[in-house]
Amino acid sequence: MYKNTKVICFDLDGVLINSIQNMSFAWKMTCLKNDIKIPFFKYKKNIGLPFYEILKRLGIKKNHKKIFLDYNKFSKKKINLIKIYPNIKITLKSLKKKFILGVITSKNRSRTINILKRFKLKFDLVLTPEDLNKGKPYPDAVIKLKKKFKVKSSEIIYIGDTLNDLKFSKNSKINFLFANWGYGSVEYKKVKKIKKIKDINKFL
């Protein structure tokens, strides 16, 4: 279906790794330290957006930098709570033989790199909000990717698990596959969905 694909990019949380327990711990501890009374389920609804944008949507108007540093610290403290999804490594190894592989995530760069190193996941490109003027759902990441690898939008697939990932793909005019095992849901019937990571091959 996407026979001319040259680049396959992945969201991180909810697609390559299950980090929900780690995020829950980090958010609860951050709330305790900063006297924030917002339950994790409200934070979870905004997963996929850059952290500062999540704070704005939750109505938190002050101390964004301190909250970010606290969250980052608690997240790193319990990195062992993060698990990699089944068959990720073997599928990535197979895809890497034919395609350029990348990660485009809303997680900050230091934690992203730590997680990729922890699970020995190697990509040709890793883009976080810190590498861009604007993170997802804005198309800045794809603009940078296209320039680096000299590819067209139609030659890129993005695999994500939230409505924000879908919006990002539409804004970037790239192909999108929805990871059904992730954190979010999309109701659009035209969205192509995969039930497990190796199902990507059905579209190549």
What does the pLDDT look like over 18-58, one tens digit per residue?
999 999 999 999 999 999 999 999 999 998 888 999 999 99
Q: Coil, strand, or helix at residue 182?
A: coil
Give tens-digit pLDDT for 69-85: 999 999 999 999 999 99
Q: Coil, strand, or helix at residue 168?
A: helix
Residue 102 host element (H or E): strand 100-104
User: Does residue 169 come out as left (phi exceeding 0), alpha (psi in the -120 to 50 range) or beta?
Assistant: alpha
| pLDDT band per the 50, 70, 90 thresholds, residue 195 | very high
User: Please, are residues 115 and 75 in contact by the beta-carbon 8 Å criterion?
Assistant: no
Q: Give me the helices (H) in 35-87, please.
A: 40-44, 51-57, 64-77
What pLDDT score does 148 carry? 97
Write the CB contacts of 129 (distance below 8 Å, at least 6 apart in sequence).
50, 51, 106, 108, 135
Whether pLDDT at 169 is above 90: yes
Q: What is the pTM of this model?
A: 0.90
3-state helix, strand, coil in the chain (%, to 5): 45, 15, 40
Whether pLDDT at 189 is above 90: no
What pLDDT score does 66 carry? 97
**Residue 89 CB neighbours (<10 A):** 15
What pLDDT score does 187 carry? 79
